Structure 1
Amino acid sequence: MSDRRYRTAIVGTGGIAVAHGRALKDLWHRADLVAVADVDPTRAKAFADRWDVPHAYDGLAELLDAQQVDLVHLCTPPEQHAPLAVQCLRAGVTVLVEKPPTLSLAEFDEMVEAERLSTGHVATVFQHRFGSAANRLRRLAAAGDLGRPLLATCATQWYRDDAYFSAPWRGTWESEGGGPTMGHGIHQFDLLLSVLGPWIEVTALAVRQARPTDTEDVSMALVSFDNGAVASVVNSVISPRQTSALRFDYEHATVEVEHLYGYDDKDWTFTPAPGHDTLLAEWTADGQNVPSGHAAQIEAVFDALDRGEPPPVRLADARRTMEFVAALYASAFTGKRVRSGQIGPDSPFTTRMDGAGAPWKEAASP
């Protein structure tokens, strides 16, 4: 392991930036947070004071002009992710982008092209991939110890009241890119996809049940996978009893996790099928208990940079998740099944997640 400490910066000092600041403080031996930037200079200064950051700027351009940094953490509202990430790449700086990485597949592919021309890289924050239990599950599944994957369920049922959507960028296609599919459930079904691998087909619905938004507040999908598994996915911001739950039924075991915004090993249960009791010992054998969270992913980013490799989650992996989002909306708004690879450059769902517009928008027109 390298003794190098990476010079890092945070752009956007709202709520999610606190998770990045805390993670970098925990990783002080590997990272030096040298600068922050925000369009609100007062907020940038307050954040810098809280986390003992020596420099605060009112924009990314000023920060990049003044500082030599190895990694920029993008914690801005979603509509700014793609343009700011491209700006970092043009400066040859690696960037860690909060979810969703872009508002559309078209934006995502522009970022892919910018990375191709840069010495820098883009990683997307999908921190639930990085807990020790998720790593253990992928390892046992890849080894074939669990047998064939048969069935999975994925539920992100959260509660956000009307006041939550008073922030002008929330609940709009133009600024947030979507509703709970894009901004809330994406963490859980990204973990689902990281375990089950390539998906084949999506059948979905999306509805606006209660919240004063342009986007959906509930979506549901049925998904089939390359390996023969099938899954259901639910995303909600109208559920008073909040939960984030995943269940994987394999031939030889059921593996489950229920948590809210992050898990550790105590949140997981492992149930072997009759005749496969020895699997429980394999599940507990490594003795690790690394919680999911920003610290786990950021440490994995530094590990990759130490090895001279692109950091996780790489663009190819994140695109599979973003294509799933686009397919869910396309199926929901057209009433048709959507296959992987079907949303091409000419599809309206390439440039906007709502395609030609959500059905309720049309219904509300005079």
Structure 2
Amino acid sequence: MSPRSYRTAIVGTGGIATAHARAMHQSEDRARLLAVVDVDGDRARAFADTWSVPRSFASLSELLLEEEVDLVHVCTPPQQHAPMIRACLKAGTSVLVEKPPALSLAEVDELLEAERRSSGRVGTVFQHRFGPAAIRLRRMAAAGELGRPLLATCATQWYRDDAYFEVAWRGSWESEGGGPTMGHGIHQFDLLLSVLGEWQEVSAVAVRSARQTQTEDISMALVTFDNDAVASVVNSVVSPRETSALRFDYQHATVELEHLYGYSDADWTVTAAPGHDDVATRWAAESSDVSSGHDQQLAAVLDALDAGTALPVSLDDARTTMEFIAALYASAFTGQRVRRGDIGPHSPFYHRMDGSGAPWAGAIA
């Protein structure tokens, strides 16, 4: 029996939409891009022409009214994610949404409730989980081949100049939900969390050091995990030498990744502990020339649609990462350690990532 071909649409035709269109183009007809949506009609039509898409619309409501689609790719600015997900779920349509899926834990929980009432399902784009090396690392770690996890470091040190933040929706709690913690480093520490499992406690700092934004431009955190591993996390948009780096120190090996916006096997290094050379041998035996990216996550999403299961990364999965972000901000802004489960409806950080306000709120920029 041949795989089903899913009717898809893209909402928002900015830069990241190209990665989604390309992934569908590579899907071997498992996903057919039938429509695009953008408030800028000219941009929507130009995108549709580039990718040979039959129809373009000015709003999601028009799309849902006039087209029967199985999967909507939401590629808009973050503040629009939750309302668009709700609209799709109300129509019984599944969604693949760019990170973050919402601006707060409260919104995530509202979406989880909406998903429970819908035949549609939601997946969040965290494409770095789906590179072959990350999948291999999780499998080898789960099988005990690397020994116990002991220590990890996670750094997203990027550079965004003042001109980058001149775009109206950037650098605002109301539109982005946060700074590099929410919009940049989220990919790396989501991968970290997917490898190390349940986080336990966060102690953090966040500062606005150089960019004239509402949000932080640097954050740092120390994290403990249920398996007794400890990790440091750095997120920055003020670092001229840009890098995305992860390091995992296990009993039997150190596994390292350094890249920028996407990785291949060539970006990973495995250093075996004395007496455990077989770890590096097993790692190298499964080498792949496939890079991380939207192609791999879309393939996993289509597999899940075929099987009738939750989409990867599900809202439940994404909530773990979003709770970590809320805890990081809460720790940074209150000076207290925050444990998993502490951020509930009683907390201002449940409703907004800046809680009752960043320490620099109201200061002259």
Same-fold call, TM cutoff 0.5: yes
Aligned-pair distance for 1:2? 4.3
Q: Distance in 2 between matches of 1:354 and 1:310?
A: 30
Q: Distance in 1 between matches of 2:309 and 2:287?
A: 28
Match of 1:245 in 2: 245
Aligned-pair distance for 1:26? 1.3
Q: Distance in 1 between matches of 2:209 and 2:122?
A: 35
1:295-320 Cα shifts (integer Å, max 9, x gaps): 11001100111111121001111000
Match of 1:32 in 2: 32
Q: How does 1:198-237 map to 2 (within 5 A)?
A: 198-237=198-237
Match of 1:89 in 2: 89
Partner amino acid, structure 1, of 2:5? R
Contact persistence 1:301–1:312 (CA under 8 A): yes
SS at match of 2:61: helix
Aligned-pair distance for 1:288? 3.0
Q: Distance in 2 between matches of 1:291 and 1:306?
A: 24
Q: How does 1:101-120 map to 2 (within 5 A)?
A: 101-120=101-120
SS at match of 2:201: strand
Aligned-pair distance for 1:217? 0.3
SS at match of 2:320: helix
1:102-124 Cα shifts (integer Å, max 9, x gaps): 00001111100000000000100
SS at match of 2:361: helix
Match of 1:72 in 2: 72
Aligned-pair distance for 1:44? 0.7
SS at match of 1:278: helix
**Larger deviation, residues 126-135 vs 356-365:** 356-365
1:18 is the counterpart of 2:18: yes
Runs of 4+ in 1 over 3 A off after TM superposition: 362-365
Q: How does 1:154-193 map to 2 (within 5 A)?
A: 154-193=154-193
Aligned-pair distance for 1:354? 0.2
Q: Percent identity?
A: 71
Aligned length: 365
Q: Distance in 1 between matches of 2:160 and 2:255?
A: 29
Contact persistence 1:243–1:260 (CA under 8 A): yes
Provide structure 1 residue ranges, at least 5 long, that are not aligned to the other structure: none
Q: For the structure 1 residues 281 and 2, does the alpha-carbon distance in structure 2 shift closer, same or farther, using more than 3 Å as the test?
A: farther
Q: Distance in 2 between matches of 1:133 and 1:159?
A: 26
Q: Distance in 1 between matches of 2:90 and 2:54?
A: 25
1:11-56 Cα shifts (integer Å, max 9, x gaps): 0111111111111111142111000001111111111011110000
Q: Distance in 2 between matches of 1:362 and 1:352?
A: 17
TM-score by length of 2: 0.98
Q: How does 1:288-303 map to 2 (within 5 A)?
A: 288-303=288-303
Q: Distance in 2 between matches of 1:280 and 1:256?
A: 12
SS at match of 1:200: strand
The two structures, once aligned, show a CA RMSD in angstroms of 1.1
Contact persistence 2:140–2:146 (CA under 8 A): yes
Q: Distance in 1 between matches of 2:139 and 2:249?
A: 16
Aligned-pair distance for 1:287? 3.6
Aligned-pair distance for 1:291? 1.1
**Larger deviation, residues 17-26 vs 108-117:** 17-26
Contact persistence 1:133–1:289 (CA under 8 A): no
Contact persistence 1:2–1:306 (CA under 8 A): no
Q: Distance in 1 between matches of 2:290 and 2:325?
A: 28
Aligned-pair distance for 1:285? 2.2
1:320 is the counterpart of 2:314: no
Q: Distance in 2 between matches of 1:329 and 1:158?
A: 19
Contact persistence 2:265–2:287 (CA under 8 A): no
Aligned-pair distance for 1:364? 4.3
Q: Distance in 1 between matches of 2:289 and 2:177?
A: 35
Q: Distance in 2 between matches of 1:49 and 1:207?
A: 43
1:179-202 Cα shifts (integer Å, max 9, x gaps): 000000000000000000000000
Match of 1:53 in 2: 53
SS at match of 1:323: helix
SS at match of 2:360: helix
Q: Distance in 2 between matches of 1:329 and 1:363?
A: 18
SS at match of 1:322: helix
Match of 2:274 in 1: 274
Provide structure 2 residue ranges, at least 5 long, that are not aligned to the other structure: none
Match of 2:144 in 1: 144
SS at match of 2:210: coil
SS at match of 2:155: strand
Q: Distance in 1 between matches of 2:79 and 2:330?
A: 20
Partner amino acid, structure 2, of 1:313? V
1:274-301 Cα shifts (integer Å, max 9, x gaps): 0000111211223433211111100110
SS at match of 1:102: coil
Partner amino acid, structure 2, of 1:256? E
Q: Distance in 2 between matches of 1:361 and 1:287?
A: 49
1:124-152 Cα shifts (integer Å, max 9, x gaps): 00000000000000000000010000000
Q: Distance in 2 between matches of 1:294 and 1:22?
A: 8
